[in-house]
Amino acid sequence: MHELSIARSVIDLAVKNCLDNGHTAIEKIILSIGAASGVMPDALSFAFDVIKQDTIAAGAVLCINAVPVSGVCSDCKGEFASCDGPFIINCPHCDSAAITVTGGFELDMIEIEVK
Ligand SMILES: [Zn+2]
């Protein structure tokens, strides 16, 4: 379950940021997670709640922005986005398989709210 190590990295980074700026507690962490990143948001939330204990993020809420997979079709030049699954196989416009995935791999910390 690699969500555990991701949650630990997120909390470590947030704690360091918070302390470096003279704050003592983290209230909220907002992450952006792409549907193709391979990260399960539910598993990450669970891991976050376990790892945050005994840190200054113990009272923090984790908010996850789900980013859809997006892409562009080489045949019809159509652009598309989908939240349905981690991978898109065919263009939803013309059913071509000649697609390039352009987004959905994100795993970014967007915002940390501190006390
Ligand atoms: Zn197409």
pLDDT tens-digit profile of 37-68?
A: 989 999 999 999 999 999 999 999 999 999 99
Domain that holds residue 55: 3-114
Do residues 34 and 104 make contact, with C-beta atoms less than 8 angstroms apart? yes
- Which candidate, 50, 40, 52, places its Cα nearest to that of 1? 40
Instruction: Report helix, strand or coil for 6.
Output: helix
CA of 85 to the centre of ligand 1 (A): 18
Q: How many domains does the chain have?
A: 1
From first to last of the 115 residues of the chain, give the pLDDT tens digit.
599 999 999 999 999 999 999 999 999 999 999 988 989 999 999 999 999 999 999 999 999 999 998 999 999 999 999 766 656 678 989 999 999 989 999 999 999 999 8
Residue with tokens 């980074």: 13
pTM for the full predicted model: 0.83
Q: How far is the CA of 77 from the centre of ligand 1 (A)?
A: 6
State the CATH number of the domain containing residue 78. Answer: 3.30.2320.80
Pairing of strands 61-67, 26-34: parallel
Measured distance CA(98)–CA(22) in Å, rounded: 51
Q: How far is the CA of 92 from the centre of ligand 1 (A)?
A: 7
- CA-based nearest residue to 103, from 73, 72, 62: 72
Q: What is the distance in A from the centroid of ligand 1 to the CA of 74? A: 7
What distance in angstroms lies between residue 107's CA and the mean position of ligand 1's atoms?
A: 27
